[in-house]
A = this chain, B = another copy of it.
Amino acid sequence: MSIVNENFLRLDGRYLFQEIEKRVRAHTQSSPQARIIRMGIGDVTCPLVPCVISAMHRAVDDLSHADTFRGYGPERGYLWLREAIAQQDYASRGVVVSPNEIYVSDGAKSDTGNITDLFSPTAVVGIPDPVYPVYVDTNVMSGRTVIGLPSDEANDFVPLPPDDRRLDIVYLCYPNNPTGAVITREALTRWVDYALRTGTIILYDSAYEAFIRDAALPHSIFEIEGARHCAIEFRSFSKTAGFTGVRCAYTVIPHELHVTASNGASVRLSSLWERRQGCKFNGASYVSQRAAEAVCSPEGRAAVQAQTDHYLSTARMIRERLQQMGLRPCGGLHSPYVWAHTPEGMDSWTFFDLMLREAGVVVTPGEGFGACGRGRFRLSAFADADDAREAMDCMERVIKN
């Protein structure tokens, strides 16, 4: 018997973005003069907004004086931040979430991965395909069976709940990464009703909700009746406010959310998460939490909305250009991501290599997001607007030849 967790050995080769980096590095080493425009990874490029910068400077100053110094904060985050989130991200949209149901962390990637600690290795997990690859990998690491839920044009990129098998846990992410698709209230209600009927837990990733511009679309799963009994929601300041280097996110676990243990006991999932975080986490950085608090202020909200508006105008331009190229794009309207077909069904890594070599543009190969990503690719609007236009010109030139 080995002492190693052998589930790691079942993981597919390399993590998608590490593989992309490797290929880009090899290209720039062989062609050091080549201009490269990165439209691949979903990293923001705009600097932090002024009121966030001021809040961070004040927080640093707090740490320089004994009477305002802060050491360990609460593992679940400072109350002032959790109150600001409950008010600005939920109450302002008519959704009741208590500050005590909010768990602040260093990132939604940590939370969506670490939440798997709470579940049995025998739980069956439904994951849409294509998908952000870490949902799959973190479950494979824990030995769970993953069922792919295909999503494509046929179902508007929103899989239906399966009627032929039970899912213990299901991941949903809308606006979606990588497809940029959104979910309607009706489709989300169908999932909540299914979960309530079958005892499924929905892990709802709404990291991109700040990009929604259609008032009819839900920002939170807790806008849907019954969701407090079946869902956990993940949110992040990364894409909302450019915090990919600052690191601050949060997870909402409603008090009502229980699962039944084998001995019949009813177990509150929030109590397990508190215990998990109490043992394996020591709170997000004080400076990052003050930065996040500033995002929740009226001034902060206006400033970060101007920033997401800017990214959305780039996304729309990308969508239109891909449309003109005949690549049948999806997304880009309420999302920074545009998902499209490769020309003539070309293999997505072949297309990646072609775009890198001939157009000097880094795209994300669809295959890295699952089997349904074959012959597709993702572009991210988190680029400089001029760079993005130039990238479209370069791609068009290569594709037309």
Contact = CB atoms under 8 A, between A and B. Distances in A.
Q: Which of A5, A134, A245 has the most CB of B within 10 A?
A: A245
Given A4-B259, A60-B57, A245 B72 contact: yes
Interface string A137-175: 110010000000000000000000000000011000000
A334 to B, nearest CB: 22
A259 B65 contact: no
Interface in A357-383: none
A163 to B, nearest CB: 20
Contact of A119 (B4, B110, B169): B4
Contact of A5 (B118, B134, B199, B280): B118
A286 B8 CA distance: 29
Given A3-B119, A3-B201, A260-B2, A48 B72 contact: no
Interface in A1-53: 1-6, 8-9, 11, 15, 18, 41, 43-48, 50, 53
A107 interface: yes
A244 B72 contact: yes
B285 A2 contact: no
A281 B199 CA distance: 29
Contacts of A280: 109-110, 113-114, 134, 138
Interface in A274-327: 275-276, 278-288
Interface size class of A (residues with CB under 8 A): 35 or more
Given A8-B118, A275-B15, A284 B247 contact: yes
Interface in A83-111: 106-107, 109-110
Contacts of A261: 2, 4, 6, 9
B282 A285 contact: no
Contact of A245 (B1, B138, B262, B286): B286
Contacts of A73: 245
Given A11-B275, A66-B47, A287-B56, A244 B282 contact: yes
Contacts of A138: 279-280
A104 to B, nearest CB: 12
Contacts of A276: 8, 141
A389 to B, nearest CB: 17
A354 B227 CA distance: 46
A184 interface: no
B279 A63 contact: no
A218 interface: no
A247 B15 contact: no
A234 to B, nearest CB: 13
A269 B119 CA distance: 25
Interface of A: 1-6, 8-9, 11, 15, 18, 41, 43-48, 50, 53, 56-57, 60-61, 63-66, 69-73, 106-107, 109-110, 113-114, 117-123, 134, 137-138, 141, 168-169, 199, 201, 242, 244-247, 259-262, 265, 267, 269, 272, 275-276, 278-288
Given A6-B262, A246-B287, 6 more contacts: A3-B168, A47-B65, A53-B60, A71-B245, A72-B244, A285-B287
25 contacts: A1-B122, A3-B119, A3-B169, A3-B199, A3-B201, A4-B118, A4-B261, A4-B272, A9-B267, A15-B275, A15-B278, A15-B279, A44-B71, A45-B69, A46-B66, A56-B60, A57-B60, A71-B244, A72-B245, A113-B279, A134-B279, A134-B280, A141-B279, A245-B285, A245-B286
Q: Which 8 A-B pairs have the closest CB atoms?
A: A113-B280, A71-B244, A43-B71, A245-B286, A3-B168, A70-B245, A3-B123, A56-B60
